[in-house]
């Protein structure tokens, strides 16, 4: 490989030809600030528009300063990243950006984690000498995401995420000059665009231009209402990331402290979405086996591959883009919704509370779940199975607001019966985890044999598209995995073209799966954060006494006492759903 050698701040560095100055500097530990560049290097995700000009550096011998993200490092270059000329230029750029920014940091949802605010503090910006016209866009509130476009600095990270990583195309640059902004086509509401609510744009937006809809006050109100019984479920990915909001290293598991915090916040019962995940495996695994058995007995009408359906961002995507294939995904509801349906039927009956007086809150790594719990299919007489879905970030704020010393909390256990789970439920958080959990159960149900090694390492990893063949005692099962919707689209196009060789495919909308969800603590492009969270999830699974969903004793009891059999009549009524052709929304957007 051809390399180049250059000097940055008196340090020599050798990098492959074609590397940017920004990356060459990072290699020797020199961090050059930027508001537009964004990279998840282990997943080849990179935004490099060179538009913000905050990363300018001095290249000796050149007249003008150069943007480090968009300038190639060449042999013999001598670069200064922080002399007076560079620092003054950066201050000027920041002042110009801030001059068209609302000064409402005190009430901004991103305050404390805003990259623009962070740089203004770092560079000691104390006054804005430039006074001019300010943008005055209306706020756009969808079920999951709020767009406050006055705070948009046109970094275009969201556009890269939405168009390249997700291939959704809900956001792109519109208008010119001062009026330029990143928005849905014709500046229509996000709700009317093909947005999937995956939240990946929110997770990369450096300012408060994109934030989640915050349900903290609704939950606080419910907790203060004595006539309501408020219960909570926590998704598997939350425990591997919540600690980051309290200064812990990424991937530090805080399951016990999280349970203790939720109890102190006033939730009557603290349950685990992992229970819903185990239940999902019972239903989805049975559905897969049914389809496989029919296929093996020569039934040509059976639909294979079966696609997982537990990610609502992904469900939105295929409803918009693949309406001709609505019968391919499993009909199993997501773990959040399975949990809600069981909580408001079986559990409500057990504790003698009317479903209208039972408030179910979910803590999710996900913004699409906020939309999902508002869908009409998941309501009974207008009453939702899950009342409010809060993100990991919202929970952290909630805990801080209540003045709970998180680090000092003891480890506490989930309540039962809906708090018991196996390791299979935990790994739903990682890309590949849902299908690994399904294989653990489907193998035993299909072969009647005990699966000794439950860790399917061929299904793990961070490559965007992966495949593996699992041996079901002589029957080879071809599995596909995709995370990120561009990767999902490729596998879906293969199915549409009749070229797919898979029996089952797991799809998660977010890069990394739910550990990288749009509601998780901001990781600012550090892929190691996702790897650490994934490792912590696998460690929690390895430490569980039970690691196969069908062995969960409370799941077994639920079927004995209430549901009957997996994929039976009652399960279908409560735990399965239907999908809708929503391609019209995409068509209008692309007209
Ligand atoms: S939430 Fe996802 S689909 Fe919607 S605009 Fe953001 S990146 Fe695009
Ligand atoms: S909305 Fe946020 S991410 Fe998108 S261009 Fe504006 S500032 Fe950048
Ligand atoms: S991958 Fe997880 S966090 Fe992302 S949209 Fe899907 S369910 Fe939500």
Q: Do 335 and 277 form a contact (C-beta atoms < 8 A)?
A: yes
Q: Which of the residues 36, 52, 514, 567 is marked catalytic?
A: 514
Sequence-distant (6+) residues with CB within 8 A of 88 are none
Domain 96-212 annotated CATH 3.30.70.20: yes
Residue 175 predicted with pLDDT over 90: no
Helix pair 84-99, 115-122: axis angle to 10 deg: 140
70 to each of 8, 53, 57, 460, how far by Cα in Å?
A: 16, 10, 11, 34
Q: Is 372 among the catalytic positions?
A: yes
Task: Tell me how far the alpha carbon of residue 532 is from its chain's centroid.
Answer: 15
Q: How does DSSP classify residue 403?
A: T
Taking the CA atoms of the chain, what radius of gyration do you get in angstroms? Answer: 25
Q: How many CB atoms lie within 10 A of CB 31?
A: 9
pLDDT above 70 as % of the chain: 98
Here the tokens at position 278 are 């185990």
Q: What is the mean pLDDT of residues 404-412?
A: 98
* 3-class secondary-structure state, position 516: helix
Q: So what's the pLDDT on residue 585?
A: 74
Tell me if the bond preceding 256 is cis, omega within 30° of 0: no
H/E stretch holding 358 reads strand 358-364
Domain 3-82 annotated CATH 3.90.1150.10: no
The angle formed by the CA atoms of residues 335, 404 and 218, to the nearest 5 degrees, is 50
Nearest residue by C-alpha to atom 4 in ligand 2: 158
Q: So what's the pLDDT on residue 458?
A: 94
pTM: 0.95
Q: Is 39 among the catalytic positions?
A: no
Residue 102 predicted with pLDDT over 80: yes
Q: What is the mean pLDDT of residues 580-584?
A: 92
The mean-pLDDT minimum among 20-24, 34-38, 126-130, 580-584 falls in 126-130
Ligand 2 atom with the shortest distance to the CA of 156: 5
C-beta of 495 in contact with ligand 1 (< 6 A): no
Q: So what's the pLDDT on residue 92?
A: 95
Q: How does DSSP classify residue 38?
A: E
Mutate to test the pocket of ligand 1, among 164, 170, 194 (most ligand atoms within 8 A of CB): 170
CA 36/CA 30 separation, integer angstroms: 18
The mean pLDDT of the chain is 94
Q: Is 287 among the catalytic positions?
A: yes
Residue 41 predicted with pLDDT over 70: no
* Confidence bin at 584 (pLDDT 50/70/90): confident
Q: So what's the pLDDT on residue 523?
A: 83
The mean-pLDDT minimum among 28-42, 72-86, 191-205, 416-430 falls in 28-42
Over residues 543-560, the pLDDT tens digits come to 999 999 999 999 999 999
- DSSP of 156-188, one letter per residue? -HHHHIIIIIS-----EEES-GGG-EEESGGG-
Residue 450 predicted with pLDDT over 90: yes
Q: Do 84 and 64 form a contact (C-beta atoms < 8 A)?
A: no
H/E stretch holding 313 reads helix 312-321
Delimit the domains of the chain by residue range: 3-82, 96-212, 217-575
Nearest residue by C-alpha to atom 8 in ligand 3: 366
Helices (H), 16-114: 21-27, 84-99
Tell me how far the alpha carbon of residue 199 lies from the centroid of ligand 2, in angstroms: 13
Tell me how far the alpha carbon of residue 393 lies from the centroid of ligand 2, in angstroms: 19
Q: So what's the pLDDT on residue 587?
A: 63
C-beta of 161 in contact with ligand 1 (< 6 A): yes
pLDDT above 90 as % of the chain: 89
Residues present in the chain in total:
591
Over residues 477-499, the pLDDT tens digits come to 999 999 999 999 999 999 999 99
518 to each of 14, 22, 321, 391, how far by Cα in Å?
A: 36, 26, 21, 8
Tell me how far the alpha carbon of residue 517 lies from the centroid of ligand 3, in angstroms: 5
C-beta of 209 in contact with ligand 2 (< 6 A): yes
CA 171/CA 535 separation, integer angstroms: 33
Which class is 217-575 in CATH?
Answer: alpha beta
C-beta of 117 in contact with ligand 1 (< 6 A): no
17 to each of 1, 75, 93, 274, how far by Cα in Å?
A: 8, 9, 29, 47
Tell me if the bond preceding 441 is cis, omega within 30° of 0: no
Ligand 3 atom with the shortest distance to the CA of 483: 1
Q: Going along 444-501, which residue ranges are E strands?
A: 465-472, 475-483
């Amino acid at each position: 490989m051809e390399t180049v050698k250059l000097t940055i701040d008196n340090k020599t560095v050798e990098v492959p030809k074609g590397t940017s100055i920004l990356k060459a500097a990072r290699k020797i530990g020199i961090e050059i600030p930027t508001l537009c560049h964004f990279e998840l290097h282990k997943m080849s995700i990179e935004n490099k528009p060179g538009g913000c000009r905050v990363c300018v550096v001095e290249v000796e011998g050149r007249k003008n300063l150069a943007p480090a993200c968009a300038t190639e490092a060449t042999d013999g270059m001598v670069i200064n990243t922080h002399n007076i000329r560079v620092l003054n230029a950066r201050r000027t750029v920041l002042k110009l950006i801030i001059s068209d920014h609302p000064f409402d940091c005190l009430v901004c949802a991103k305050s404390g984690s805003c990259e623009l605010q962070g740089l203004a503090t770092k560079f000691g910006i104390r006054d804005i000498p430039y006074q001019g016209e300010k943008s005055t866009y209306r706020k756009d509130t969808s079920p999951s995401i709020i767009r406050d476009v006055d705070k948009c600095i046109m970094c275009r990270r969201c556009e890269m995420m939405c168009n390249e990583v997700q291939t959704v195309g809900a956001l792109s640059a519109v208008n010119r000059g001062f009026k330029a902004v990143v928005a849905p086509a014709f500046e229509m509401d996000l709700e009317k665009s093909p947005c999937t609510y995956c939240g990946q744009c929110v997770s990369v937006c450096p300012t408060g231009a994109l934030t989640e809809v915050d349900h903290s006050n609704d939950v606080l109100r419910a907790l203060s209402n004595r006539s309501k019984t408020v219960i909570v479920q926590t998704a598997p990915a939350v425990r591997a990331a919540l600690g980051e909001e309290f200064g812990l290293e990424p991937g530090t598991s805080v399951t016990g402290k999280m349970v203790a915090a939720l109890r102190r916040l006033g939730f009557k019962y603290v349950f685990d979405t992992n229970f819903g995940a185990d239940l999902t495996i019972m239903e989805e695994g049975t559905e897969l086996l049914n389809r496989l058995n029919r296929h093996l007995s020569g039934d040509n009408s059976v639909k294979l591959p079966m696609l997982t359906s537990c990610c609502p961002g992904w469900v939105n995507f295929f409803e918009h883009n693949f309406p001709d294939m609505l019968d391919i995904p499993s009909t199993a509801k997501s773990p959040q919704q399975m949990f809600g349906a069981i909580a408001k039927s079986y559990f409500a009956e057990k504790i003698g509370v009317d479903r209208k007086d039972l408030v179910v809150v979910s803590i999710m790594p996900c913004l699409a779940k906020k939309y999902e719990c508002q869908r009409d299919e998941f309501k009974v007489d207008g009453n939702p199975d899950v009342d409010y879905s809060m993100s990991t970030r919202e929970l952290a704020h909630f805990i801080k607001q209540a003045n709970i010393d998180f680090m000092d909390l003891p480890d506490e256990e989930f309540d039962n019966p809906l708090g018991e789970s196996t390791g299979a439920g935990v790994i739903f958080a990682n890309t590949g985890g849902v299908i690994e959990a399904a294989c653990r159960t489907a193998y035993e149900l299909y072969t009647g044999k005990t699966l000794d090694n439950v860790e399917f390492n061929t299904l793990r990893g961070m490559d965007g598209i992966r495949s593996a063949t699992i041996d079901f005692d002589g029957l080879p099962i071809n599995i596909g995995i995709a995370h990120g919707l561009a990767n999902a689209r490729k596998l879906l196009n293969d199915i549409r073209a009749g070229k797919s060789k898979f029996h089952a495919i797991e799809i998660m909308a977010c890069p990394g799966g739910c550990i990288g969800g749009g509601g998780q603590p901001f990781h600012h492009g550090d892929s190691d954060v996702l790897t650490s969270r994934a490792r912590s999830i696998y460690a929690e699974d390895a430490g569980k006494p039970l690691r196969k969903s069908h062995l969960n004793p409370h799941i077994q009891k639920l079927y004995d006492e209430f549901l009957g059999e997996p994929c039976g009549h009652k399960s279908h009524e409560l735990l399965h759903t239907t999908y809708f052709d929503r391609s019209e929304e995409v068509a209008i957007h692309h007209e």
